């Protein structure tokens, strides 16, 4: 006896599978982008991972590129939000710098997959180039804070502020390679250690 499959019912189940809104789809997409690379990840691959049809994904986003933009915005909005906070804009430069570094560590810990993706983009698409421009603006703002702190006498004067900023964020960004939010180290523990190494 040959078993028959109701293709229409199967497709309806795939389309109607509960539990995925745009945020849920984005999280799965970011994991796939980090695992396989953005270029190698297709909407079909995402549909298989989600157990949805491609059209169900397109109900939430217009394209794979929109998923990338949303993911990079998640990381960059967090970092830029740290720079806009009152504690980053008033007070002694060294204190503002410490606040920004601590805030950046927290953003990385809270949004680890998104920051990991940001650090891997190379400017191959318009979305990536726009993200890299925002990241450069962030780096320049941190370098300016380093220069202010140095001028106040809070930091050593024998290193270029832009180089210092790159080295500080090289240390912070390296967390994406080994930090596990579920582990014993909290974001504040990491920030305390980084600030002790960088500013004392």
Q: What is the pLDDT of residue 3?
A: 41
Q: What is the pLDDT of residue 199?
A: 78
In a domain, 1, yes or no: no
Of residues 67 and 5, which shows the higher confidence score? Answer: 67
Q: What is the pLDDT of residue 4?
A: 44
Residues 38, 90, single domain; the answer is no
Q: For the chain, what is the domain count?
A: 2
Q: What is the pLDDT of residue 19?
A: 62
**Are 155 and 149 spatial neighbours (Cβ–Cβ below 8 Å)?**
yes
Q: What is the pLDDT of residue 155?
A: 85
Give buried/exposed letters for 15-45 (b at 16+ CB in 10 A, else e).
Answer: eeeeebeeeebbebbbbbbbeeebeebebee
Gap between the Cα atoms of 193 and 172, Å rounded:
11
In a domain, 66, yes or no: no
- What is the reported pTM? 0.86
In a domain, 174, yes or no: yes
């Amino acid at each position: 006896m040959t078993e028959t499959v109701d293709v229409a019912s199967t497709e309806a189940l795939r389309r109607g599978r509960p539990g995925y809104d745009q945020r849920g789809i984005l999280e799965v997409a970011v994991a796939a982008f980090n695992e396989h690379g953005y270029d190698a990840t297709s909407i079909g691959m995402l549909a298989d991972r989600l157990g949805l049809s491609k059209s169900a994904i397109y109900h939430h986003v217009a394209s794979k590129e929109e998923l990338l933009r949303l993911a990079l915005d998640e990381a960059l909005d967090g970092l830029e939000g740290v720079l806009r906070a009152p504690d980053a804009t008033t007070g002694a430069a060294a204190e503002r710098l410490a606040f920004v570094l601590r805030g950046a560590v927290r953003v990385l810990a809270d949004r680890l997959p998104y920051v990991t993706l940001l650090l891997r983009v190379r400017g191959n698409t318009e979305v990536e180039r726009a993200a890299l421009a925002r990241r450069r603006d962030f780096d320049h703002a941190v370098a300016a804070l380093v220069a202010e702190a140095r001028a106040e006498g809070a930091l050593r004067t024998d290193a270029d502020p832009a180089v210092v900023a790159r080295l500080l964020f090289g240390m912070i960004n390296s967390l994406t390679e080994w930090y596990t939010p579920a582990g014993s180290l909290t974001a504040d523990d990491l920030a305390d250690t980084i600030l002790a190494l960088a500013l004392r």
